[in-house]
Amino acid sequence: MNNKDLWQSTLTELQLNLSKPIFSSWFANTKILTTKKVSEKRQIIEVAVANPFAKNTIEERYLGQVKEILDNLTKLKNELKFTVKPDFLNGKGSTKKSETPLLSLNYEKENKRSIKKAIRFTGLRPDFTFENFAVSSSNEVAYAAARSVIKNSGKSYHLLFLYGGVGVGKTHLMQAIGHQLINQNPRALIVYSSAEEFTNEIINAIRTKSTSSFREKYRSAKLLLIDDVQFIGGKNTVQEEFFHTFNTIHRAGGHIVLTSDKLPDQIVGLEDRLRSRFEGGLTIDIQQPNFELRTAILLIKSRQWGRPLPMDVAQLIASNIESTRKLEGFLIRIITEGDATNQPITPEMAQKLLGKVSDKKPKTKKNVKSKEVLEAVCSYFNIKLNQIKGPKRNKEIVFPRQVAMYLLKTELDFPLMRVGEIFGGRDHTTVMHSIEKISKNSITSESLRFDIEALKKRIYGEE
């Protein structure tokens, strides 16, 4: 029996078992593309179908029926492969050419609906995509790494650890990875959660005796996205569960993306076994956005909201506001102002609103006292005030002490002798050496730069 007769016999059998609309939709425009006998009892049959929607439907719903019919007709064990080949079908004079555009259209609509549904189910923000992410020197490495997580599946790092301060785009990049996978496969199991939500779900699962459902949800994920993972520090039960979740996904070849405001070795109370796994992935620092990036962010977001800003307005705002979250808040405010007054958004309008914003700025450097700096440093590095001022010179004390000296000089502009007096009457040359060391190391050390920026935020009440 040749391929044409074999397939015709198969279709005849299917017509007896399927309704006319189903048969017409999925099987009428199909043909055997190739047959390959791999042994005396086995062969591979490749069947051409008109579009991806038909391929997916046949494989998911009717594969068993088709295989059973072919096995009976050929007296062989058949392995079936369905391939989208509209040109092959049309080139052979198919009488069902007119169905292909309709089915293709149906597939596109169905695929878009599936993508939207998956995004809603996963809890991703619709606008947190790669297309809406502004890139500059401060985040280009993180952007490239995020793009590669799913694109080069199996070749990229199984874990991506993004860390940086508030509002630098960590969550946006993380969710963009989720969008990328959903666009490739809307059925892929993606779990997005904050560490706080992860913690609350564990507590609730223990309370309701439903830990098996909790584990099934997280451990079966192809892509696990956890925001603000530093929150699990010091929570033993949560870390135990996260450790096993991490291992299960890793062994199954899945991907994990974490965000944090600290490096793994700076998360207080993080177990060593989790810290080693976090450090085993790709860890990338995202710096605060520069002027050019802040301008680009404003232009992108204003276009998304249907109210594109003039370039001079965007530049004026970006030169006055550094925080990306404050940028978004100000953008909402100026667009609302324009709508309320029915006036175009101009530099004059922006300047007027910026003046109101500046009246509400947090503490300035002049209002900060040396005690606040020392308390912030001690809290950050988990040491006592008498230790940082005392004579001890072990590493755990010396480094925070040097950082505190550096901040007193650079932020409060204290003279070297006054800094020395604060630290038990130390010589000004010792103070100068400490400040120079921190200043020099901050050029090459991402970790140190992150520490300094985090401490500044604490000192000025920005976190």
Q: Out of 239-253, 303-317, 346-360, 422-436, which region has the weakest mean confidence (pLDDT)? A: 346-360
Q: 443: pLDDT confidence band, cut at 50, 70 and 90? A: low
CA angle 279, 287, 242 (to 5 degrees): 30
With a cut of 70, say whether residue 104 has pLDDT above it.
no
With a cut of 60, say whether residue 367 has pLDDT above it.
yes
- CATH T-level topology, domain 130-286: Rossmann fold (3.40.50)
Question: Region 418-425: what's the mean pLDDT?
Answer: 90
- Collapsing DSSP to helix, strand or coil, 165 comes out as coil
pLDDT digits (tens, 9 = 90+) for 404-419: 998 998 888 888 888 9
Percentage with pLDDT > 70 across the chain: 91
Angle between helices 395-410 and 446-459 (to 10 degrees): 60
How are beta strands 255-260 and 282-286 bridged, if at all?
unpaired
| Cα atoms in the Cβ-side hemisphere of radius 13 Å centred on 322 | 8
With a cut of 70, say whether residue 102 has pLDDT above it.
no
pLDDT at site 46? 94
Question: Region 366-382: what's the mean pLDDT?
Answer: 87
**When comparing pLDDT for 272 and 136, which is higher?**
272
**Class at the top of the CATH hierarchy for domain 365-459:** mainly alpha
- CATH T-level topology, domain 3-98: GMP Synthetase; Chain A, domain 3 (3.30.300)
Nearest Cα neighbor of 160 from 172, 141, 145, 144 is 145
Q: 94: pLDDT confidence band, cut at 50, 70 and 90? A: very low
Q: 69: pLDDT confidence band, cut at 50, 70 and 90? A: very high
pLDDT digits (tens, 9 = 90+) for 202-223: 999 999 999 999 999 999 999 9
Indicate the pTM of the whole model. 0.55
pLDDT at site 227? 94
C-alpha to C-alpha distance for 78 and 45, rounded to whole angstroms? 7
pLDDT digits (tens, 9 = 90+) for 318-349: 888 888 878 888 998 898 888 888 889 998 89
Give alpha helix (H) positions in 18-98: 20-26, 52-57, 63-74, 86-91
Q: 357: pLDDT confidence band, cut at 50, 70 and 90? A: low
Hey, what are 16's tokens?
A: 């007896």
Q: Out of 54-63, 150-159, 255-264, 381-390, which region has the weakest mean confidence (pLDDT)? A: 150-159
Give alpha helix (H) positions in 152-253: 170-184, 195-207, 211-219, 236-251
Residues 74 and 37: beta-carbon distance below 8 Å: no
pLDDT digits (tens, 9 = 90+) for 274-304: 999 999 889 999 888 888 888 889 999 898 8
Question: Region 160-181: what's the mean pLDDT?
Answer: 91
pLDDT digits (tens, 9 = 90+) for 235-280: 999 999 999 999 999 998 899 999 999 899 999 999 999 999 999 8
